[in-house]
Amino acid sequence: MSQTMRPGRYLLWLALAGVLLALDLWTKHLASQNLELFRPLVITPWLNLTLAHNEGAAFSLLADAGGWQRWFFTAIALIVSGVLLVWLKRLPNSARLLPVAIVMVLAGALGNMIDRIRQGYVVDFIDVHYQGWHWPAFNIADMVIVTGVILLLLEGFIPRRVSTT
C-alpha cells in the first residue's frame, strides 16, 4: 500500500492551485477594469470578450433566485474544496494525473467562490459563438474546473496496475 503524499509534494500541488487561482482572479480583474458590462469586444469571428456578472451557477442556474444562492454556492464550494484538500493529501506520492485534476477543480471552485463572497456574482468574460449562437460566457475558473473534471473521468477509465507479489 502506498503512503500518503509527503508534505513537500502536497505544498507543490497547492502552489499549482495558487497559480491557477491567481491567473483566474487576475483575468477577472482585467476584464472588470477594461470591458463594459454586456458590450462585446470582438477578438475573432468566433470569440468575444464580453463582461457578464453571473449570480447563479453554471449556465446561470438559479441566477434569479433572490440572493440566497450566493451563500448556497459559497457553502458548496467550501465543502468541495475541503474534500478536495483531504483527497489530495491522501494520494500516494506516485499519483500524477489525479492530483492535477484535483488541483484544477480546487482552484476553479475557489476562484468563483471568492467572486461570490466579494461581489455577490461571478465575473465571466469569455464569449464563444458561432453563427449567432453563443455559449454562455465563462472564465478561467470554469475552464480549469471543466478540464479537471475531464481528467478525473479519464483517471477513472485508466486501468490500475495490480501488483502480483
Least confident of 1-5, 76-80, 152-156: 1-5
**pLDDT for the residue numbered 1:** 47
What predicted TM-score, i.e. pTM, was given to this entire model? Answer: 0.88
Distance CA 104, CA 62 (A): 24
Give Cα separations from 108 to 44, 80, 156 (angstroms).
26, 11, 21
- Model pLDDT for residues 49-73, shown as the tens digit of each residue: 999 999 876 655 655 556 677 788 8
What is the structure's pLDDT at 162? 59
Do residues 115 and 28 make contact, with C-beta atoms less than 8 angstroms apart? yes
| 2-56: pLDDT as tens digits | 578 898 999 999 999 999 999 999 999 999 999 999 999 999 999 999 999 998 7
Tell me the one-letter amino acid at 149: V
pLDDT at site 63: 55
- pLDDT at residue 70, rounded to an integer: 78
Active centre residues (catalytic): 124, 142
- Per-residue model confidence as pLDDT tens digits over 105-150: 999 999 999 999 999 999 999 999 999 999 999 999 999 999 999 9
**Which residues make Cβ contacts (< 8 Å) with residue 91, sequence separation at least 6?**
4, 5, 98, 99, 102
- Higher-confidence residue of 80 and 69: namely 80
Number of residues assigned to the chain: 165
- Residue 5's pLDDT is what? 84
Burial of 126 (0-12, 13-18, 19+ CB in 10 A): buried
